Structure 1
Amino acid sequence: MNLDFTKHNIGTIDRLVRAVLGVMLIVGVFFGTHWIVGLIGAVLLATAWFRFCPAYALFGFSTEKTEVPLVK
């Protein structure tokens, strides 16, 4: 298990989906859903902001596409 917060493990598309879904869940709280839904939205928004998901790190999963430059 590698919980290195400095290494990003969330890619661009994953980040966008998390941010949009997080905002939608938080806005839903103002329209009558339970506060726990807003909490889940806040977690999604935080993971999108920091580009790090502890669950991804726990299972060694990453959607980040890092390109290694070729050195000759």
Structure 2
Amino acid sequence: MRPAKNVGGLDRTVRGVLGTSLVVAALVAILAGRRTAGVLAVVAGAGLLVNWATGFCGANALLGIDTCSDSEES
């Protein structure tokens, strides 16, 4: 069973851009020897990218937030 989409529009775009930025920052941090910061950034970035790719956010579901328009819910 697939969860209903609850992330759309500008919210989804921001998650994609921020997630990608965090993954890049994580790689830079790891290469600079800041492993803890790198791991934290890659975990946060990966979470945002999963939200972007699936259109679903568990925190939004718990809080009852839905940023999808009717046309995006397919």
- Give the TM-score range, shorter chain: 0.7 to 0.9
Give the Cα–Cα distance (whole angstroms) in 2 for the partners of residues 16 and 46 of structure 1: 12
Q: Within 5 Å, which residues of 2 pair with 1:1-72?
A: 5=3, 7-32=4-29, 34=37, 35-66=39-70
Give the Cα–Cα distance (whole angstroms) in 2 for the partners of residues 40 and 22 of structure 1: 7
Over the residues paired in the alignment, what is the CA RMSD in angstroms?
1.4
Give the Cα–Cα distance (whole angstroms) in 2 for the partners of residues 21 and 59 of structure 1: 21
What is aligned with 1:70? none
Paired residues, what number?
A: 63
Unpaired runs of 5+ residues, structure 2, are none
TM-score by length of 1: 0.80
Tell me by how many angstroms 1:53 deviates: 0.4
Point out 4+ residue stretches in structure 1 off by more than 6 angstroms.
none
TM-score by length of 2: 0.78
